[in-house]
Amino acid sequence: MTDPHTPPPAPDPPAGPASAPGESLATLLHAYRVHARAPRGVVAALTERPRTLRALIQDSGLPRRSVEEILGCLGDDLRTATGGTFVLRPGAVDRYRTMIDYAELRASTPLDPLAAEIGRNGALVTTMHELIASAPRPRAELDHVPATAATVVRRAVWLATHYDLRGAHLLCVGDHDLTSLAVVLLAAAATPDPARRGPTVTVVDIDEDLLEFLDRSARSRGVRLRCLYADLRFGLPPSVAGSADLAFTDPPYTPQGVSLFAARGAQGLADRERGRVLVAYGFSDRVPTLGWKVQRALLDQGLVFEAIWPAFHTYEGAEAVGARADMYVCQPTPATWKYLDRPAPARGPATTAIYTRGRQSTESRPVPLAEPVIAAATGFLAAAPGRAVFVGERPALDAAHAHLATVVERGLPTAAAGAGGPLSAVADLSDDPGPWLTRLLLAVNADRLAVIVTADHPVLGAGGGPRDALHPLRAKWVPTSEHDAAAADQNHHGGGDGVWEATRLVTFAAVDPAVLDPGPRLARWLLDRPHGKIGNVWRDGLIRIVRKADGRAPSQREALAAVRRAVADPDLLAARLIDLPRHSLAATLAAAVASVDPQPGGESAAGG
């Protein structure tokens, strides 16, 4: 959900026109013509009790500017009370109710078909309100604006009453609103018998703090979620592709963001005829061109709008679009699969600029790396002659070149890495929102690595070396802070000339596997093969390391049984290591180390 241009709350009601309040309001309502119900509702609400500006926007679904215009028409009849609430002068209430035909308006208010079912799940609304309050803070640079607790439950109720979710698989393509938790908690309340299968829910998201929160919250309440890391600009985890019955997404509200998230949702569907992609999207009626651009982007992907439920979602913010969004039920067509099945180069280069703000907004303009950081990276490569590769969107060094998306998805291409001699790599992560660094350290197998990051990188911090987030990778990489360098680079997010942003070169050296004990050596085996299925890679590494340590090789069956005993969630064995969120990555590598350690009685974990 996007809230691109919501201004701060107004301390005083907007000044109205010079004409009398009643006259200006009547003129405004007349201009709305058949759409006058919503502005009449704003005035009706004020005749009932004091209201905040946010409440008036949420209840009416009108953009903030439109609500402010209505308030301005009330002139001196409206005052601001403590707490920022707007209060209508008591003596003016009857006059305004007559003007808006209050009785007709309230008598003809349409009923919400989901209201009764949501009311029966009031306890779940309370639970979701508490969860939303304790969740990681919304990240503005990722266009996070939280939905209300009632909206999250509304989504779960709507899904449960419109689809047969018994044994179904729901894919949440991003989930900062915690919709996944509402779905599994509603299903658990409806079917307390564990023998009856409710829906399986998978969440893919770029926010690793959010994924850890979802996982921990689900476990503490006795329900299951499958949480995987994904930067959707680089692809969908293979273990998720072609697996879901339904996909739900509340994406960044740009044409690029909506089309990307919807496409990943379609790629996650198992049934190309009956699968559906559900998209939350809203736009201001003051700027319908924005809605047209997004709808066209969806139609260009071959998606047809089976239904559009207006004003379905309500948000704590997003006042520029009336704090509301519609529910688009999208059905893929053969044109969708023709588009998505084409090789990535045929679909054009993937863009990272999909948000409304920050250095990865659609209005940002990338600039070349500045000379100081290029000089530092060149010096790093010159310190150890041999093969060299630069990872970034544009070649910037005298070295072989590979795109970041390619490396994250498949590792360093053989053609770029070459053959023979030590391999040094430099990667431009100056636009890293945080998790790219971990994925790069997983994906790159080299002797030395340098990364260009901002000085306030979310993982590395504002000064000093790598933090605890990189500790699970210690069997593969060791920081070499003596080779780090501070530099400066021009601002990357569309700023004006002369604006510079501090960057630095952070360096690592590969750990020699020969110095590792058997447990960490197995962790290293996994870390060097992050694109394989965890279960297969772990099994093969366990056989190899136990053979070397004990002189006896367990069978594949024995090794796989040991692997399954070692993990808390066997479903993760079908995933790739690079797709695990930070907390699952650390737990999986720790379990791998423990699977080699001697057990009580002297047998290894792989013993028969």
The CA-atom distances, in angstroms, between 39 and each of 15, 44, 95 are: 17, 9, 16
- Answer yes or no: is pLDDT of 349 > 90: no
In degrees rounded to 5, what are phi and psi of residue 215? -60, -50
Range name among 2-11, 19-28, 118-127, 433-442 with the lowest pLDDT average: 2-11
Cα–Cα distance measured from residue 174 to residue 229, given in angstroms and rounded to the nearest whole number: 10
Closest CA to 486 of 462, 455, 459, 465: 455
pLDDT at 323: 85
Determine the average pLDDT of the residues in 516-521.
95
Per-residue pLDDT reduced to its tens digit, 277-313 = 999 999 998 999 999 999 999 999 999 999 999 999 9
Calculate helix-pair angle for 582-596, 534-550, nearest 10 degrees: 30
pLDDT at 496: 41
Of 556 and 5, the structure prediction assigns the larger pLDDT to: 556
Q: Rounded to a whole number, what is the largest CA-CA distance in the chain?
A: 95
Dihedral sign computed on CA atoms, order 110, 114, 115, 116: positive
- Answer yes or no: is pLDDT of 326 > 70: yes
What band does 38 get if pLDDT is binned at 50, 70 and 90? very high
Closest CA to 435 of 265, 286, 293, 231: 231
- Answer yes or no: is pLDDT of 464 > 60: no
With a pLDDT cut of 90, the percent of the chain lying above it is 68
- Answer yes or no: is pLDDT of 33 > 70: yes
Range name among 283-292, 379-388, 456-465 with the lowest pLDDT average: 456-465
Tell me the pTM: 0.87
What band does 10 get if pLDDT is binned at 50, 70 and 90? very low
Per-residue pLDDT reduced to its tens digit, 50-76 = 999 999 999 999 999 999 999 999 999
Cα–Cα distance measured from residue 68 to residue 56, given in angstroms and rounded to the nearest whole number: 10
- Answer yes or no: is pLDDT of 463 > 60: no
Determine the average pLDDT of the residues in 187-195.
80
Range name among 300-314, 458-472, 548-562 with the lowest pLDDT average: 458-472
Per-residue pLDDT reduced to its tens digit, 246-268 = 999 999 999 999 999 999 999 99
pLDDT at 457: 87
For 409-543, list the strands marked E by DSSP: 423-428, 448-454, 477-479, 485-490, 500-510
What band does 169 get if pLDDT is binned at 50, 70 and 90? very high
Would you say 592 and 530 are in contact if contact means Cβ atoms under 8 Å apart?
Answer: no
pLDDT at 75: 92
pLDDT at 469: 76
Q: What is the 3-state secondary structure (H, E, C) of 205-234?
A: ECCHHHHHHHHHHHHHCCCCCEEEECCCCC
pLDDT at 84: 87
Would you say 445 and 528 are in contact if contact means Cβ atoms under 8 Å apart?
Answer: yes
pLDDT at 497: 42
pLDDT at 139: 85
Count of residues making up the chain: 608
Determine the average pLDDT of the residues in 36-53.
95
Strand-pair partners of 51: 86
